[in-house]
Structure 1
Amino acid sequence: MQAFTSDHFVLPLPPGHRFPMSKYALLRDAVAETLPQIRLREAPPATEGELALAHEPGYIDAVLQGWLSPAQQREIGFPWSQRMAERACRSVGASIAAARVALSEGVAANLAGGTHHASAAKGSGYCVFNDVAVAARLMQAEWHRHHRSLLRVLVIDLDVHQGNGTAEIFADDPTVFTFSMHGARNFPFRKVPSDLDVDLLDGCDDTAYLAALARGLDTVWQRLQHTPPGLVFYLAGADPHEGDRLGRLKVSAAGLAQRDRLVLDALRERGLPVALSMAGGYGHDIAVTVALQRHTLALASESWKAWQASSGRRQPLAAADGTIA
């Protein structure tokens, strides 16, 4: 299975900043050391033209040229630097690359990404550009160019925070279905309606969480039975975990593993390629967050193996190395 990284582009954050920047390199090292079946590749940056598929040109210029106002930087949560802009482009590029490979191989991953609070004209909540929105729009354009048909997209967002930016970008787009399951009282405090939102109470445990997910997925399949997707983006956030500083839920490591199995098995049974993003994870112990996300990738690699053994894969858009077929 291929997975794409962008952890060499580290932001110079001030002391005491609560964003866990170190987790990306730690996750890459853990995957390299313990999951040899996953091939790690550094992601190329998204281009300005690719970013413009989901973001307004003025906002793109502000990020790339350093024109973000102090208020915009505060809302994003990062001070502007050239490395901040480069990292944002690389994170989007990793989801683009993962999506291309997923359309060929069934499963691929971005070891970062899931920047779902970024909307068309602004960033928010540690999200500069919306990697899933850009990748979805680009895959639709490339699919149409090569196959002269519509590629419908499903976003399954299981980060503990609602995917408000993704919902806003695709609010009037019937070709992309957005499903978000998140803490009802958690950030963002003003939600933007997704196609399907499942709100969870603080303290939600494994039993309640998995039951809500099963009901949510059943609703997704019912609503998409006549317009099935051809590509899925799965935001597999580790922040519903009971040890997360920002999550406010009580889902165990075993519960998160069962969550990942439910999603990956459902997608494989339906022949739906999936590009994973690791999304949020803010554990009191960063090693716990890394272990949770490493296990998600291990389960994804098992799903990838099953895809390779099956004969029901869709017509590929990309070659195995991520280039256009």
Structure 2
Amino acid sequence: MQVKSLLRELISREDETSFSGWLLEQVKKSQKFDYVKKVKDSRGGLVIEAIKGEPQLIFLCHMDTVKASVGQKRGVHGDRYYGLGAKDMKGGIVSVLKAVLSASEMRNMGLIFYNGEESDRSGMKLLLEKFKYFPKLIVCPESRFVIGSGCKGLMVVSVEVRGIAAHTARPQQGLNSVEGAWELVEYIRSKCKLFKSKMLGHTLITPLFIISWPEFNLSGIVPDKCNMNLELRINSSRLTGDMVLSWVKEFCKLSGFKVEVKLIEEYPVTLIPKKDLLPLTEAINVAGEDVRWADVSLSGFNDGFLLFHKYQIPVVNFGPYGEGNHTANEWVSIRSVEKTAKVYSYLMQIMGK
């Protein structure tokens, strides 16, 4: 099957059941693997494994997509294939499938597909529990045809700020919880600026949502409660969740607000040594392409790196060029999908020896 046909088939499948079912069918039909299995758990985790021999190389692919808030652009426009998940990471999965289906001989490699990467990490949680392989390299097939050797850490914090209700004609008699929430954000941001990193830049803080209401849900009242989730993209392994929680306590003492806070997620900074990625750089060179490295300070969090932290197996992002992740104009370059498949083919040969 040609690249365009594979892209059309995969991009047209916009729900997890159809997506995973088609992938399972393709790897089984290829007859390239010693075994193929699908595992689910009670938390909603889903993992598909296709294994040949004792894997020295594993392609790790998530099956999640993020739907745009407006109409999704679809179809082929020049070299660009538009559609839901085209760049993140259906284009990369097609590169993997193309390399596998084109291989005359395949040894000691595996494919793993999982769900939950864009939401509750359910698939990765299941994989971390069940992982039993010892490859020399794990490749996540999504980048911009550059090598992603790390990323910032990720932290998500749930916050409830309590103020004091008052009539909006006399706001000075109350304590506005919305203003308190923003003051808290700025306080945490000021603390994060104390942590410097030439490679990872600054810690980034994004309020994901904010909901407020006055007592009894009446208009004309200064809001006395505000709920907010904060996402922090962490630039230092020294910046921990416990530290953020202590800053919230400091803020309460200084401001007079009462704050309840819960750490929802906390994942570490990742930096993979370049020496551990020599098979990939060799494959890129053999394919006649230039080796280029991603700016890790701009790289999104990849939960595949959790396998590195638990098992000390090098994990890297490398996939076809595209743009528009998580937007209505998401696209992947068809030529880059083909080039990436070529790199993967050489990588499979190098690591299958």
**Bigger CA radius of gyration:** 2
TM-score range relative to shorter protein: under 0.3
Structure with the larger RCO, 1 or 2 (CA within 8 Å, 6+ apart): 2
